[in-house]
Amino acid sequence: MKNYFLLLSILCSFSVINVHAQIKLAMIDNLYAERFEIYALHEDPDFPDTKSFIGTGQVTLVVNAQTELSNVTNYNGIWVLNSKALTPEENPSKDYLSFGFSDYTELRISGSKPTLLFAVEYSKAGIAHIVEMEDPFCKIPNSLGTNPGNELSIATFEDGMKMMRYSSNYEPCSPSPLPCELAEMQMAKNGQIKKRPNNGVANKNDNGTIMASKVKKNRP
């Protein structure tokens, strides 16, 4: 296992690698199942959905202090909670929980729809989100000497070596994991949207169908 990643590191060091697509992450708070669901999405239809292998992976959730998590369910890759940074002085009302990729495996991320990576159940939860690069605690060094942040690198060996890497987070159109723009296009195609309301809140049209709109969330 370790020899594989050593070989991959050597290849990356001495070869010209085509970073073919950027990966974006999103989190859905599934209120019915009481769990956070972590999704990945890329926007390059030419990148193969199969025979892709993960090289590195970490996702850091920012949750209210004393949020209790349990029962990680893996869907793509094997993920474990491997780091807890509790109430750091940079953001003392929050905990930073980092989930890391723990074993070599295939990973399939679709270019056409979000791919569920893993889910984790919670209790006593409040507002939560995937950490952003601008977060005051997402700096090295920080007050607790930890390494929060997001990282996802995936390689495919079809038609030469190509790579995808994490670039940013996107805002899902909850409860759908799709970005709001794609969700609204899909709903419009199905005749479910008349127009986007001006007040930024989802309303109903004359026949009772929800008109989707992106609701901006304020994060403390």
**Each residue of 137-196: pLDDT tens digit?**
998 899 999 999 999 888 777 666 778 889 999 999 888 888 887 667 666 666 655 444
Q: How far is CA 130 from CA 12, 28, 105, 156, 180, in A?
A: 28, 10, 23, 26, 17
The Cα 30–Cα 37 span in angstroms is 7
Q: Which of 213, 12, 23, 220 is CA-nearest to residue 110?
A: 23
Range with top average pLDDT, 71-80, 88-97, 121-130, 166-175: 88-97
Give the number of other CB atoms < 10 A from CB of residue 91. Answer: 19
The Cα 68–Cα 64 span in angstroms is 9
The residues near 35 (Cβ < 8 Å, ≥ 6 apart) are: 73, 119, 120, 121, 122
- 196 vs 91, higher pLDDT: 91
What average pLDDT does the segment 94-113 reach? 80
What average pLDDT does the segment 59-85 reach? 92
Give the number of other CB atoms < 10 A from CB of residue 48. Answer: 14
pLDDT-based confidence at residue 81 (cuts at 50, 70, 90): very high
Mean residue pLDDT across the chain? 76
- Contacts of 138-144 spanning 24+ positions with Cβ under 8 A: 138/60, 139/90, 142/85, 142/88, 142/90, 143/88, 143/89, 143/90, 144/85, 144/88
